[in-house]
Amino acid sequence: MTSASDSDPVGVSKISLTNSALSGSFWISTQWFLNKLVTAAATLLIAFFLSPEDYGVAVTAFAVATVVWVFLPEVMGDVLLAYPRRLQLLAPTAQRLAFRIAVISGSVTLLSIPVALWIYDTYPPLWFGGLLAVLAIRPFCMAMSVVPLSNLRQKLEFRRIAMIDGFLQFAATLLSVGCAAVGGRGASLVVPQILNEAARAVCYVRVGSIRSTRRFHRRFARMLMRVYFMGAGAQYVHNVLVMTEIVVLGYVAGEYQTGLFGFAFLLAAQANGVIAGRIGMVLQSVFGELQQHPVRQVEGFLRTQSVLGAVCVPVALLQVVLAKPFFDLVLASKWQPAIPVFQALSLLQAFYFASGPSMACLKSQRRFHVLFLWQSIQILLSFPAFWFGAKQGGAVGVAIASMLMWSISIPTGIWLCTRVDGRGRLRQTVSVFLHSWLVGLPVFALGYVLVQWLDSWGTMGDVVAVTIAAPTLFIIVLCITRFVNREFQSVADYVWQVGWHGIRSVAFR
Spatial CA neighbour of 257 closest among 458, 399, 53: 53
Spatial CA neighbour of 219 closest among 90, 68, 397, 388: 90
pLDDT < 70: residue spans in the chain: 1-37, 84, 156, 158, 212-214, 271-294, 296, 421-424, 490-509
Write down the pLDDT at residue 15: 43
Which amino acid, 93? T
Beta-carbon contacts of residue 483 (< 8 Å; ≥ 6 apart)? 489
Residue 226, judged by CB atoms within 10 A of its CB (0-12, 13-18, 19+), counts as: exposed
| C-beta pairs of 383-392 under 8 Å, 24+ apart in sequence | 383/244, 383/248, 386/244, 386/245, 386/248, 386/249, 387/248, 387/252, 390/248, 390/249, 390/252, 390/253, 390/257, 391/252
State how far the Cα of 137 lies from the Cα of 418, in Å rounded to an integer: 38
Domains of the chain, residue spans? 17-500
Give the pLDDT confidence of 80-132 residue by residue, as tens digits.
777 767 777 788 888 888 888 999 999 999 999 999 999 998 899 999 999 99
- DSSP reduced 3-state for 309: helix
Residue 37: other Cβ atoms inside 10 A: 11
Separation in Å, CA 86 to CA 83, 223, 294: 5, 12, 20
Write down the pLDDT at residue 6: 40
**What's the residue count for the chain?**
509
Give the pLDDT confidence of 371-418 residue by residue, as tens digits.
888 988 988 998 899 999 999 999 999 999 999 999 999 999 888 888
75: Cα within 13 Å, side-chain hemisphere? 27
Write down the pLDDT at residue 18: 47
Write down the pLDDT at residue 474: 86
